[in-house]
Amino acid sequence: MKATDKTYWENRYAEHQTGWDLGQCAPPLQAYIDQLENKELSILIPGCGRAYEASYLLANGFTQVTIIDIAENLVAQLQQQFEHRPIKILKADFFSLEGSFDLILEQTFFCAIRPEQRKTYVNKVAELLKPQGKLVGLLFDKQFEADGPPFGGSIAEYEELFKGKFDLRKLEKAYNSIKPRQNAEVFINFIKK
Protein backbone atom coordinates (compact mmCIF):
# COMPACT_ATOMS: atom_id res chain seq x y z
CA MET A 1 0.00 0.00 0.00
CA LYS A 2 1.34 3.40 -1.04
CA ALA A 3 1.74 6.10 1.60
CA THR A 4 -0.41 9.06 0.57
CA ASP A 5 0.98 11.61 2.98
CA LYS A 6 2.22 15.17 2.54
CA THR A 7 5.49 14.01 0.94
CA TYR A 8 3.62 11.86 -1.55
CA TRP A 9 1.59 14.87 -2.75
CA GLU A 10 4.57 17.21 -2.78
CA ASN A 11 6.43 14.72 -4.95
CA ARG A 12 3.50 14.47 -7.34
CA TYR A 13 3.62 18.24 -7.84
CA ALA A 14 7.43 18.36 -8.02
CA GLU A 15 7.41 15.62 -10.67
CA HIS A 16 4.47 17.14 -12.57
CA GLN A 17 2.51 13.93 -12.05
CA THR A 18 -0.83 15.68 -11.79
CA GLY A 19 -3.12 13.75 -14.10
CA TRP A 20 -6.15 14.89 -12.08
CA ASP A 21 -5.58 18.53 -12.99
CA LEU A 22 -8.32 19.72 -15.36
CA GLY A 23 -6.70 23.09 -16.06
CA GLN A 24 -10.10 24.69 -15.46
CA CYS A 25 -13.01 24.77 -13.06
CA ALA A 26 -15.00 21.57 -13.63
CA PRO A 27 -18.10 22.47 -15.70
CA PRO A 28 -20.60 20.93 -13.23
CA LEU A 29 -19.13 23.07 -10.45
CA GLN A 30 -19.08 26.09 -12.71
CA ALA A 31 -22.79 25.60 -13.43
CA TYR A 32 -23.51 25.25 -9.73
CA ILE A 33 -21.51 28.37 -8.84
CA ASP A 34 -23.25 30.33 -11.60
CA GLN A 35 -26.61 29.98 -9.92
CA LEU A 36 -25.45 31.06 -6.45
CA GLU A 37 -26.71 34.53 -5.65
CA ASN A 38 -25.15 35.15 -2.25
CA LYS A 39 -21.56 36.21 -2.90
CA GLU A 40 -20.88 36.32 0.84
CA LEU A 41 -21.23 32.60 1.39
CA SER A 42 -18.23 31.21 3.25
CA ILE A 43 -16.83 28.57 0.94
CA LEU A 44 -14.12 25.99 1.61
CA ILE A 45 -12.27 24.01 -1.04
CA PRO A 46 -10.34 21.13 0.56
CA GLY A 47 -7.39 19.55 -1.26
CA CYS A 48 -7.67 22.48 -3.63
CA GLY A 49 -4.73 21.66 -5.91
CA ARG A 50 -4.32 24.46 -8.43
CA ALA A 51 -7.58 25.93 -7.19
CA TYR A 52 -9.38 26.58 -10.47
CA GLU A 53 -12.70 26.60 -8.61
CA ALA A 54 -11.35 29.33 -6.32
CA SER A 55 -10.23 31.41 -9.31
CA TYR A 56 -13.70 31.03 -10.75
CA LEU A 57 -15.32 32.09 -7.48
CA LEU A 58 -13.10 35.16 -7.19
CA ALA A 59 -13.72 36.13 -10.80
CA ASN A 60 -17.42 35.99 -9.98
CA GLY A 61 -17.23 38.22 -6.94
CA PHE A 62 -17.30 35.74 -4.05
CA THR A 63 -15.69 37.33 -1.02
CA GLN A 64 -15.24 34.55 1.54
CA VAL A 65 -13.27 31.80 -0.13
CA THR A 66 -10.89 29.54 1.80
CA ILE A 67 -8.65 26.97 0.15
CA ILE A 68 -6.56 24.34 1.88
CA ASP A 69 -3.93 21.92 0.68
CA ILE A 70 -1.27 19.86 2.37
CA ALA A 71 1.44 20.15 -0.31
CA GLU A 72 3.87 22.93 0.65
CA ASN A 73 5.36 23.50 -2.78
CA LEU A 74 1.89 23.86 -4.29
CA VAL A 75 0.66 26.21 -1.56
CA ALA A 76 3.73 28.43 -2.01
CA GLN A 77 2.74 28.82 -5.68
CA LEU A 78 -0.87 29.52 -4.76
CA GLN A 79 0.24 32.23 -2.34
CA GLN A 80 2.06 33.98 -5.18
CA GLN A 81 -0.73 33.42 -7.66
CA PHE A 82 -3.40 34.85 -5.35
CA GLU A 83 -1.29 37.61 -3.79
CA HIS A 84 -3.49 40.60 -2.90
CA ARG A 85 -6.65 38.68 -3.81
CA PRO A 86 -9.44 38.28 -1.23
CA ILE A 87 -8.88 34.64 -0.41
CA LYS A 88 -7.64 32.66 2.60
CA ILE A 89 -4.98 30.11 1.70
CA LEU A 90 -4.16 27.41 4.24
CA LYS A 91 -1.22 25.06 4.12
CA ALA A 92 -2.51 22.35 6.43
CA ASP A 93 -4.08 18.95 6.81
CA PHE A 94 -7.80 19.13 6.11
CA PHE A 95 -8.45 16.68 8.93
CA SER A 96 -7.00 19.16 11.47
CA LEU A 97 -8.86 22.19 10.15
CA GLU A 98 -11.20 24.12 12.41
CA GLY A 99 -13.80 26.51 11.12
CA SER A 100 -17.35 27.01 10.05
CA PHE A 101 -18.53 27.23 6.44
CA ASP A 102 -21.74 27.56 4.45
CA LEU A 103 -20.47 25.48 1.57
CA ILE A 104 -17.72 22.96 0.94
CA LEU A 105 -16.85 22.28 -2.68
CA GLU A 106 -15.60 18.79 -3.49
CA GLN A 107 -13.44 18.22 -6.56
CA THR A 108 -11.18 15.13 -6.53
CA PHE A 109 -10.21 15.46 -2.88
CA PHE A 110 -12.45 12.66 -1.59
CA CYS A 111 -10.95 10.25 -4.16
CA ALA A 112 -7.45 11.24 -3.04
CA ILE A 113 -7.85 10.08 0.54
CA ARG A 114 -7.64 6.42 1.49
CA PRO A 115 -11.00 4.60 1.61
CA GLU A 116 -10.49 3.81 5.30
CA GLN A 117 -10.51 7.59 5.95
CA ARG A 118 -13.88 8.13 4.30
CA LYS A 119 -15.93 7.97 7.48
CA THR A 120 -13.57 10.52 9.02
CA TYR A 121 -14.01 12.72 5.94
CA VAL A 122 -17.81 12.60 6.33
CA ASN A 123 -17.59 13.52 10.02
CA LYS A 124 -15.07 16.29 9.35
CA VAL A 125 -17.11 17.85 6.56
CA ALA A 126 -20.22 17.75 8.76
CA GLU A 127 -18.26 19.31 11.65
CA LEU A 128 -16.98 22.14 9.43
CA LEU A 129 -20.37 23.04 8.00
CA LYS A 130 -22.82 25.42 9.62
CA PRO A 131 -26.33 24.07 10.26
CA GLN A 132 -27.93 23.49 6.84
CA GLY A 133 -24.48 23.95 5.24
CA LYS A 134 -23.83 22.10 2.01
CA LEU A 135 -21.29 19.73 0.55
CA VAL A 136 -21.47 20.08 -3.22
CA GLY A 137 -19.31 18.66 -5.96
CA LEU A 138 -18.24 15.60 -7.85
CA LEU A 139 -17.39 12.04 -6.79
CA PHE A 140 -16.20 9.26 -9.06
CA ASP A 141 -18.80 6.70 -10.00
CA LYS A 142 -16.37 4.01 -11.05
CA GLN A 143 -13.75 1.69 -9.64
CA PHE A 144 -10.10 2.02 -10.61
CA GLU A 145 -8.04 -1.07 -11.29
CA ALA A 146 -4.71 0.27 -10.07
CA ASP A 147 -4.04 0.97 -6.41
CA GLY A 148 -5.06 4.59 -5.79
CA PRO A 149 -5.18 7.43 -5.54
CA PRO A 150 -7.59 7.91 -7.13
CA PHE A 151 -9.87 5.63 -5.14
CA GLY A 152 -13.23 5.01 -6.76
CA GLY A 153 -16.71 4.40 -5.43
CA SER A 154 -20.37 4.03 -6.28
CA ILE A 155 -23.69 5.75 -5.66
CA ALA A 156 -24.74 2.96 -3.28
CA GLU A 157 -21.57 3.36 -1.25
CA TYR A 158 -21.91 7.16 -1.05
CA GLU A 159 -25.53 6.89 -0.02
CA GLU A 160 -24.66 4.59 2.84
CA LEU A 161 -21.69 6.70 3.88
CA PHE A 162 -23.31 10.14 3.92
CA LYS A 163 -26.97 9.53 4.75
CA GLY A 164 -26.46 9.58 8.54
CA LYS A 165 -25.18 13.17 8.61
CA PHE A 166 -26.65 14.66 5.43
CA ASP A 167 -29.88 14.97 3.48
CA LEU A 168 -28.86 13.74 0.06
CA ARG A 169 -30.61 16.31 -2.07
CA LYS A 170 -28.73 15.26 -5.18
CA LEU A 171 -26.64 12.17 -5.89
CA GLU A 172 -26.83 11.47 -9.57
CA LYS A 173 -24.72 11.07 -12.70
CA ALA A 174 -23.30 14.41 -13.75
CA TYR A 175 -24.64 15.42 -17.19
CA ASN A 176 -21.99 18.03 -17.93
CA SER A 177 -18.69 16.35 -17.03
CA ILE A 178 -15.57 16.98 -19.07
CA LYS A 179 -15.20 14.37 -21.80
CA PRO A 180 -12.70 12.00 -20.13
CA ARG A 181 -14.95 11.81 -17.05
CA GLN A 182 -18.28 11.49 -18.85
CA ASN A 183 -20.46 8.85 -17.24
CA ALA A 184 -17.81 8.32 -14.58
CA GLU A 185 -18.78 10.86 -11.95
CA VAL A 186 -21.77 11.85 -9.86
CA PHE A 187 -22.84 15.30 -8.85
CA ILE A 188 -23.67 15.65 -5.18
CA ASN A 189 -25.56 18.26 -3.22
CA PHE A 190 -25.75 17.14 0.42
CA ILE A 191 -27.24 19.27 3.16
CA LYS A 192 -26.04 18.88 6.71
CA LYS A 193 -28.79 17.50 8.94
Ligand X SMILES: C[S@@+](CC[C@H](N)C(=O)[O-])C[C@H]1O[C@@H](n2cnc3c(N)ncnc32)[C@H](O)[C@@H]1O
Applying CB under 6 A, which residues contact ligand X? 9, 20-21, 46-50, 68-71, 74, 93-95, 107-109, 112
Residues 6+ apart with CB under 8 A from 114: 4, 148, 151
Coil, helix or strand for 156? helix
Q: How far, in Å, CA of 139 to CA of 189, rounded?
A: 11
Compute the distance between CA of residue 108 and CA of residue 177 in angstroms, rounded to an integer. 13
Residue placing its CB nearer to ligand X in the complex, 21 or 40: 21
Catalogue the E-assigned strands of the chain.
42-46, 64-69, 87-91, 101-107, 129-140, 166-173, 185-192
- What DSSP element (H or E) covers 33? helix 27-34
Closest CB to ligand X among 48 and 139?
Answer: 48
| Of residues 93 and 127, the one with the C-beta less far from ligand X | 93
C-beta of 119: minimal distance to ligand X in Å? 15
Please say which residue, 49 or 133, places its beta carbon nearer to ligand X. Answer: 49
For the bound state, the minimum distance from the C-beta of residue 177 to ligand X, rounded and expressed in Å, comes to 13
**Residue in the shown chain whose Cβ atom is closest to ligand X:** 49
Give min distance, CB of 46 to ligand X, in A.
Answer: 6
188, 64, 191, 66: which is closest to 136 by C-alpha? 188
Amino acid identity at 162:
F
Closest to ligand X by CB, 70 vs 171, is 70
CB of 3 to ligand X, least distance (A): 11
Q: Least distance to ligand X from the beta carbon of 50, Å? A: 6
